[in-house]
Structures are given as C-alpha cells and as structure tokens.
Structure 1
Amino acid sequence: MAERSQQLGVEQLVQQLQLAAHPEGGFYRETFRDERTVEGGRAATTAILYLLPTGAKSKLHRLDASECWHAYLGGPITVVQLDASAPGQVRLTVVGPDLAAGHQLQHVVPANTWFGAVPGDATQEGGAAQWALVGCTVAPGFEFSAFEFGDRARLLAEFPKAAPWIERLMAD
C-alpha cells in the first residue's frame, strides 16, 4: 500500500489530502489543534501535513516554538538551520526513511531558529530531489502571529558564511 502511495503525483496528493498553499512554500493542512491550552490561550500543540514538491522550497523563517519534523512519503527532505551559536554555520538534517543513508525519521528545530527546507538529500552530491510529504508538530501550538519570514539583508549580515543557503532559501 505504501508503494502505491509513493506513485501518487503531487497534484493527486494535494487533492486527496486537501492541502492548501503554504506561505513559506509547498502545501499543508492542519490535522490537529490541541484543545488543551497553555499560557495566553494558545493550543498546547498542533500538527500539519506538509508537502514540498520537487524544485520547491520552504523559505527561511522562524517560529517561537519548537517544531518536530516527521518523515511520511516520497523522498527525503533536507532541513536547513542557521546556527546562532556559531554564526555562519549551517546545520543540514535529512529527514527521510532511509536509515542506512543516515536519514532521520524525526528532527526537532528549536524555537527561534532560522530554518527552511528543500526536497531531497542536500548532503549528497547530485542527490535526486523528489517530492516529500512530512508531518510537522509544533509545541506550543503553531500560530501565524508567531511565524516570521527571514529578511535577506539581515540574515546575510548575521550569517555571511551561510550566504549560499540564504540566497537559495530566500529567492522567489
């Protein structure tokens, strides 16, 4: 059954999973919003399905909450983080099903970390980029009011050694 799901195209997945365009790129649908709340009335946790097609990207952004990425279908996805503790350093984590290739089934991006993503395994030379369907769980729950897009000039000034990734994940 998983093999048949792998054969679905992006358009079919968008339709079947009832996904909508996400402002950062790709497609998503919120699948869970906890009824329990934390301080300020925010949901304790939220979860989405997130589809990143071949050639697309999740633009650099940050959240005020931690986000856990989970591999589901398609190819791997590379999560790109700008490391504030070592300016200029870029952390690449491949979230996918191939444990033998070093993929991670889950990966947590800490709160207030600049990050984005690209489909495929960006750690491998010439790695074929296939669409990727992942899940993202945010705690405390995701709120668009706590979502911030990166500013190219500001990020280039703060992370000059990460310029190639910043340019790649900022370009429209």
Structure 2
Amino acid sequence: MQLKTRIAEAVKTAMRARDRERLATLRLIQSEIKQFEVDERREPDDPAVLAILNRMLKQRRDSIEQYRQGGREDLAQREEAEVAVLREFLPEPLSPAEVAARIDEAIAATGASGIKDMGRVMAELKPQLLGRADLAEVSRHVQTALAQRGGGRPG
C-alpha cells in the first residue's frame, strides 16, 4: 500500500477511535503532504513522503532538545508522542553496522577516492537510507571515510 494511502487510513482509524493526539499528528502529516503537492504540482511518491516524514522527525527532535533545555518537559513529551506517530510510517531503522556496510558499498560502487567524490557517494546512499538512517550522521561518516581514503580533511 502506498504510504500516502496508509496515512489516510490511519487518519480514519484515529477519527473512529476518537484519539485526538494521534489524529492531530496525522493531520499535520497530511498537511505537509498537501503543501508538497501545491508547491511541486505533482502527487508525491513514497520517497517524497519519506523525505517529508524525515524532515518532520528532525524538526521534532530539535524541538524536544530545545524544550528540555528550557525546562519544558510537558512540551517535550508532546513532541515525543508526535515522533512515535511519525515513526510508524518510516521503514525499520538500520543499525550502525548496517549503515557502515552501506557506506562502504557505495564508496566501492562509485569508485570514490576522496572528499571530492562525496556528492556521488551521498547520491548513491540517499535512496537506500532515506527514512532508515539520519542522513546528516551518514554524511559525517562518509566524509570521515573519504578523508581516510583520499587524505583530505573531514569538515
């Protein structure tokens, strides 16, 4: 089943169950998808929906950190509840060892020899890891791996 359809079904289920918090988060997801449709003038495919969910997840994580630093545990818990709903629609996350193996495979597949090849390696990895790993973290690991191969310096 397409991801967008799964989200729509989850909205209906939450409405029937009168689960207001879950419904609010699901409607936020639908709103982001609708904004994508308006901006891009096209129907989002699963990778586009995954990118939207990833962006929303990152925003929630940043908010949780800021709320905790500000002593607002109540707001941090609300954001954590939203994170739980978002994760339901993301694929199973990869372990650090699996991510490292994918990075090595991508470096070998692209023939990357240094930092200058980072864009090619990330282009190879992004479709595989979208929604399954933090791409910012993956980028740091790729940069380190390429710096060790090519003698460049990690940023």
The two structures have a TM-score, normalised by structure 1, of 0.21
Higher relative helix content: 2
Task: Say which structure, 1 or 2, has more relative contact order (CA 8 Å, 6+ apart).
Answer: 1
Higher relative strand content: 1
